[in-house]
Amino acid sequence: MRNPVWLVIVLLAGVAISLVGLLLGMWWLTFPAGLLIGVAIAPARLAVPTGALAGLLGWMLPLAADQARYGIGPAASSLAAIMGFTGQAAIPVILTCLVGLMLGLTGAWLASAARLLLMPATR
């Protein structure tokens, strides 16, 4: 499936699921969102980056919103200090994005791999 429109729709759906999950405290929904992307998109080389992008955007957009509303600099600095990285405020930002990215990526990868294994005809 390489229809760009479909790709975008699936991507946005993944981002939306991820966002709703985060808002409800169900952060792990990013992973099922990745799974859905892995199911909805073939081949894997498209599904996996899409899943990663959905996870990344899902976790980055609320941060961006916080930045616009409150400014996350002091919070990032404080979190970095708590983590033992005083003065390196970028670390918690990167880590947050990485968590979202990895959840989406692994979800999509797992689904793609499972599809490849169970339904070789759909490769």
99, amino acid identity: V
Separation in Å, CA 14 to CA 59, 73, 78, 118? 11, 28, 31, 23
Whether cis (ω within 30° of 0) applies to the bond prior to 43 is: yes
Alpha-carbon distance 47 to 11, whole Å? Answer: 9
Q: Does 45 bind another protein (CB under 8 A)?
A: yes
Give the shortest CB-30-to-another protein separation in angstroms: 9
- Enumerate residues 85-114 that contact another protein by CB under 8 A: 85-87, 92, 95-96, 99, 102-103, 106-107, 109-110, 112-114
Q: How far is the CB of 23 from another protein (least distance, A)?
A: 5
User: CB of 12: closest distance to another protein in angstroms?
Assistant: 18
Site string for another protein, 51-90 (x = CB under 8 A): --------x--xx--x--xxxx-xx-xxxxxx-xxxx---
Does residue 123 bind another protein (CB under 8 A)? Answer: yes
| Distance (Å, whole) CA 34 – CA 100 | 10
Size of the residue set binding another protein (CB under 8 A): 48
Cα dihedral sign for 52, 55, 59, 62? positive
